[in-house]
Amino acid sequence: MKAFTFQTPTNIRFGAGASSKIGELLKGYKAAHVLLVTDEKVWAAGLTRNAEAAIAEAGIALTVFDGVLADAPSHVIEAAAEICRERGVDTVVAIGGGSALDTAKLVAYLAKTPDKLDDIYGIDRATGDRLPLLLVPTTAGTGSEVTPVSIVKTLNNEKKAVISPLLIPDWAILDPELTLGLPPHLTAQTGIDAIVHAIEAYTGKIKKNPTSDWLALKALARLSANLRKVCADGSDLEARSEMLLGSTLAGMAFAHSPVAAVHALAYPIGEIFQVGHGLSIALVLPYAGEGCDEARGAPTGQQSARARRRSGPGDLCQSTCGSEQAMTELGRQTGISTFNLRHRRDLCRLCNTHSTSPDPVFSAHVAETAANNCSSAQSGGLARILRAIARQREGRAPSTLRFNRIGSNT
């Protein structure tokens, strides 16, 4: 067995209404002034209200920063960190989707160190100190509440990651009540994102280990059993609870065995077409489904075909990403449209592709992500697709890629 390291938040609190008890946790850090990081919609939906009341009740000063934007733009992070410094904030809380959580992780770091954001992109380049950090996800979800990752949109619209154990929060607070109002299309997109985190953690080829495997399978079982339920009935608290815990477990899994080709392709697609992370993943997934047939064999490669069929992961993979029909149906129900890619063949090979060198317009992060993929058997497939997308971006005739905005039927 390969050697591995397991790092995850020391503290996870799960339960309906858990966010309304945040005051006790903050007292543990002797918090005097909290910055609450959120976005306008989450704030307007009242999802921060209970936590705000708890903070007031604990006698702690509060500054609300509701300026979070989709995909955590760098200038927003820097502005919020500046507010912390100006106001003497000593603790950071985030309530929201992955964009709010990723913003808060870097705010807590930049407010405490002299480091500049531009200098810490990459792995283990953030090595200073940070403010205490408590994260409350309202989507299920990115799993950001338990990962050492923060994904930032730079001023050039490029996605870059800061990866450091320092970004793992002090507390992940999982309150499924906060996800009850998530509309069906966001429920589907973010749920599919979580499923792909689990699948890619399980089929990843570089860092997977027995712990990440266990977490990925536990996550996948919960997510695949409940995604359709929560899309059909968002008020089902038990199903929402399963989804939230499932997405956190998937986050813990991919924190240790990073995501791969579906994410690698989704990053530039999100960037080019300006669609959110969950949607870009959801759009790519059906086309990567067939490739997962290849991935299915990877974890149990030494076993006979018969043993593999009995072994479970393949069945799980097929019951989630492998079933294109189910995903198409879910897309129809929830209003997620689909990509039409002529080079579907290439996309189907995604899970069996070890990217070589994508077009230079794409960041190193994309290439690194693709390199985690399960097999290096057929190189170049991902690079070809990325080049097709690049041609589209340059305004040439979209002969290899057609993209339909949400709601289009063609």
Ligand X SMILES: NC(=O)c1ccc[n+]([C@@H]2O[C@H](COP(=O)([O-])OP(=O)(O)OC[C@H]3O[C@@H](n4cnc5c(N)ncnc54)[C@H](O)[C@@H]3O)[C@@H](O)[C@H]2O)c1
H or E stretch at 4: none
Q: Which two tokens stand for residue 359?
A: 């077009």
* 102 part of the interface to ligand X, by CB under 6 A: yes
Contact call for residues 146 and 255 (beta carbons, < 8 A)? yes
Quick one: the chain helix, strand, coil %, rounded to 5?
55, 10, 35
- Say which entry of ligand X, Zn ion, none residue 132 contacts (CB below 5 to 8 A, set by partner kind): none
Rg (CA), the chain: 20
Which one of residues 8, 19, 139, 203 is an interface residue with ligand X (CB under 6 A)?
139
Contact call for residues 154 and 139 (beta carbons, < 8 A)? no
**Segment 294 to 323, residues that bind ligand X, using CB under 6 A:** none
Residue closest to 64 by CA, chosen among 40, 30, 90, 28: 40
CA 277 distance to own-chain centroid: 7
Q: Cα separations (Å) of 269 from 115, 158, 163?
A: 30, 11, 22
**Segment 149 to 168, residues that bind ligand X, using CB under 6 A:** 149-151
Which one of residues 12, 45, 79, 237 is an interface residue with ligand X (CB under 6 A)?
45
The residue count for binding Zn ion (CB under 5 A) is 1
- Say which entry of Zn ion, ligand X, none residue 350 contacts (CB below 5 to 8 A, set by partner kind): none
- Say which entry of Zn ion, ligand X, none residue 41 contacts (CB below 5 to 8 A, set by partner kind): ligand X
* 193 part of the interface to Zn ion, by CB under 5 A: yes
- Report how far residue 365's alpha carbon sits from residue 352's, in angstroms, rounded to the nearest whole number: 19
**Shortest distance in whole angstroms from residue 187 CB to Zn ion:** 15
Q: Of 11-19, 204-212, 270-278, 368-376, which segment contacts ligand X by CB under 6 A?
A: 270-278
* 234 part of the interface to ligand X, by CB under 6 A: no
Which one of residues 54, 135, 186, 239 is an interface residue with ligand X (CB under 6 A)?
186
The binding site for ligand X (CB under 6 A) comprises 39, 41-42, 45, 47, 70-72, 96-100, 102, 138-139, 141-144, 147, 149-151, 178-179, 181-182, 186, 190, 193, 276-278
